[in-house]
Chain A
Amino acid sequence: MNWTMLDTWIVIAGVLSACSCSVLGNFLLLRRMSMMGDAISHAVLPGLAVGFLLTGSRSSLVMFLGAAVVGVLTAVFTQWINRFGKVDEGASMGVVFTALFAVGLVLIVQAADAVDLDPGCVLYGAIETVPLDTVQLGSLSIPRAVLTLAIVFAINLGVIIVFFKEFKICAFDEELATTLGIRSAWMHYLLMTLVAVTTVASFESVGSILVIAMLIVPPATAYLLTDRLQSMILLSLGFATLSAIGGHWSAMAVPPIFGFADTNTSGMMAVVAGLLFSFAFVFSPRQGLIARFLKPKTN
């Protein structure tokens, strides 16, 4: 195994993408809306396609706008169907995102002759090609995806820090927030917009499957290990980083041990995240299987 500059860029892209997802995922998890990340990451597809068909451009800005609009629409439609159709939230989410995803696929297939918008690429990304497309930033030549992901991560982190207490109260007790005059609906749509934009930024590099994994698995791991929200968010960022680094390393190092060629990095990132979760699940000092076995609950 030889580690090159290319590998470093791949890992940086992976870390930024995983952290962008995880920081938002904490709030999806706590609001019991984990599947909303899944829904939005699929539903943004028609947004991308329409953005492209309308402008003929595949520039990041167009893609982000399309995604943001559809992200909010997904949240709005889900709520409408839930409220007016007497369909429970999970089911209405299922209706909305599968329909939007299907529309997106049709649009992409229609446009496919003209453009390189590849459904397969959306699903599992192409992190290995990240270092090939670079932009010049002063004297530094850095991959375009890394720059985009760095900006998205900065935005996500900034928004979560600035609105920390609002996100916290809306996740814990929406009714209290409402009686205090805090618009929980706005916070909800803000979160959905960020998820949509993050999804699109991560598509190219890690793909939508990994986005879903990174939105939920690192926060879920952190949730098992702490009982303070701040530490949960910090820990989730740590696990996201570990998954990205460990994922790329093991994609290169593990298969050759068994005589195979090295494997897909984003897949291994999800596997590492899953392993970290399993460790926490078993060894967590308070809620882990072993702790519970040794100290049975008294009340």
Chain B
Amino acid sequence: METDAPMSLNTSAKTLPATGSEHSATAPVSIHDMTVAYHRKPVLWDIDLDFPKGKLTGLVGPNGAGKSTLIKAVLDLVPKASGRVTVFGQPYQRQRHLVSYVPQRESVDWDFPVNALDVVTMGVYGKIGWFRPVRKPHRELAMAALERVGMADYARRQISHLSGGQQQRIFLARALVQDAEIYFMDEPFAGVDAATEKAIIHLLHDLRSAGKTVAVVHHDLQTVSDYFDHLIMLNMRVVAAGPTREIFNRENLRKTYGGRLSLLDQAAQAIISQS
């Protein structure tokens, strides 16, 4: 299995019905026929997607479905075996400044000798450019972002002395300070306290009102209908993509999560209780 070349797998994938290969030229983010493999073992096959503008898009799927990998491949953080990504019709590489990324909290070393303000300020390093130091206006921008996530009082605190939820909010502030059009967030709700969860939802709604495009990897099926207008259900392939109320149903959940019955029951209950 492992020695199978991605190409042969590609051809088998083609026999499946295409999931919307018509791309809008103005979509904030379009993924064109993207396949991603780790050590030749494909983890994402033939992904063909548009992210709609001004919508909160949820990305759901079981563990190992390739949710994080999808984001990372879009952002050039993992190599693509094939396919390409456009941002407002242009190659991503030319549009980096329009896209910001909130990685999983575990992706960095929180014992690093910096404080909260330092971390948020890193969000503007790209704009500052080479050979120029960080100056007061940059720190003021970072401070404003910290205020938006309710963390201004913790600006000077070393990051290891923050709770998990507070660390998550630092990451959100760092994405905000980039003033991007598109936000990719990898499980921002994972392991956070209620206050942080509320702050994140508030922020997501703010971003949507400002016409920004937001895509969020999400685990908790119970809250999917509450949080997201648009949904991508993923399990190595795109199982379904569209408005949440149209596609978030029993059949698609079964296709996405396979035979994991307990999980399915839980999800089915969530849907029934909402309708």
Complex partner residue of B108 from A162, A165, A166, A173, CB under 8 angstroms: A173
In the complex, A104→B267 CA distance in Å? 63
**Stretch in A41-49, A53-61, A177-185, A204-212 with 4+ CB within 8 Å of B:** A177-185
Q: Which of B39, B99, B122, B178 has the most CB of A within 10 A?
A: B122
Interface status of A171 (Cβ within 8 A of chain B) = yes
Contact, CB under 8 Å: A172 / B112: yes
When A172-B119, A173-B103, A173-B108 are in contact, do A179 and B114 touch as well, CB less than 8 Å?
no
In the complex, A5→B113 CA distance in Å? 40
Set of chain B residues within 8 Å of A163, measured between Cβ atoms: 130
Set of chain A residues within 8 Å of B96, measured between Cβ atoms: 179-181
Set of chain A residues within 8 Å of B128, measured between Cβ atoms: 165
Contact, CB under 8 Å: A179 / B75: yes
Contact, CB under 8 Å: A165 / B134: yes
Complex partner residue of A229 from B107, B113, B160, CB under 8 angstroms: B113
Chain B, residues 96-127, CB within 8 Å of chain A (1/0): the string is 11011101000111001111001100110110
Set of chain A residues within 8 Å of B119, measured between Cβ atoms: 172
Distance in Å: Cβ of A176 to nearest Cβ of chain B: 6
Contact, CB under 8 Å: B99 / A86: no
In the complex, A201→B118 CA distance in Å? 34
In the complex, A181→B77 CA distance in Å? 11
Main secondary structure of the interface of B (DSSP, over half): mixed
Contact, CB under 8 Å: B97 / A181: yes
Complex partner residue of B100 from A168, A178, A179, CB under 8 angstroms: A179
Contact, CB under 8 Å: A182 / B113: no
Contact, CB under 8 Å: A181 / B101: no
Contact, CB under 8 Å: A227 / B101: no
* Chain A interface, number of residues (Cβ within 8 angstroms): 28
Distance in Å: Cβ of B58 to nearest Cβ of chain A: 21
In the complex, A175→B113 CA distance in Å? 18
In the complex, A229→B158 CA distance in Å? 11
Complex partner residue of A227 from B122, B158, B178, CB under 8 angstroms: B158
Contact, CB under 8 Å: A166 / B130: yes
25 A-B pairs in the complex with CB atoms less than 8 angstroms apart? A30-B109, A30-B113, A165-B128, A165-B134, A168-B122, A172-B108, A172-B119, A172-B122, A173-B122, A175-B77, A175-B101, A175-B103, A178-B75, A178-B77, A179-B75, A179-B96, A179-B99, A181-B96, A181-B97, A182-B125, A182-B126, A226-B113, A229-B112, A229-B113, A229-B118
Binding site for B on A (CB under 8 A): 30, 32, 86, 162-166, 168-169, 171-173, 175-182, 223, 226-229, 231-232
Nearest 7 CB-CB pairings of A with B: A180-B126, A227-B158, A227-B113, A179-B101, A181-B96, A229-B113, A173-B108
- Inter-chain pairs besides A168-B122, A179-B77, A228-B113, 4 sampled, C-beta below 8 Å: A165-B134, A169-B122, A181-B126, A182-B126
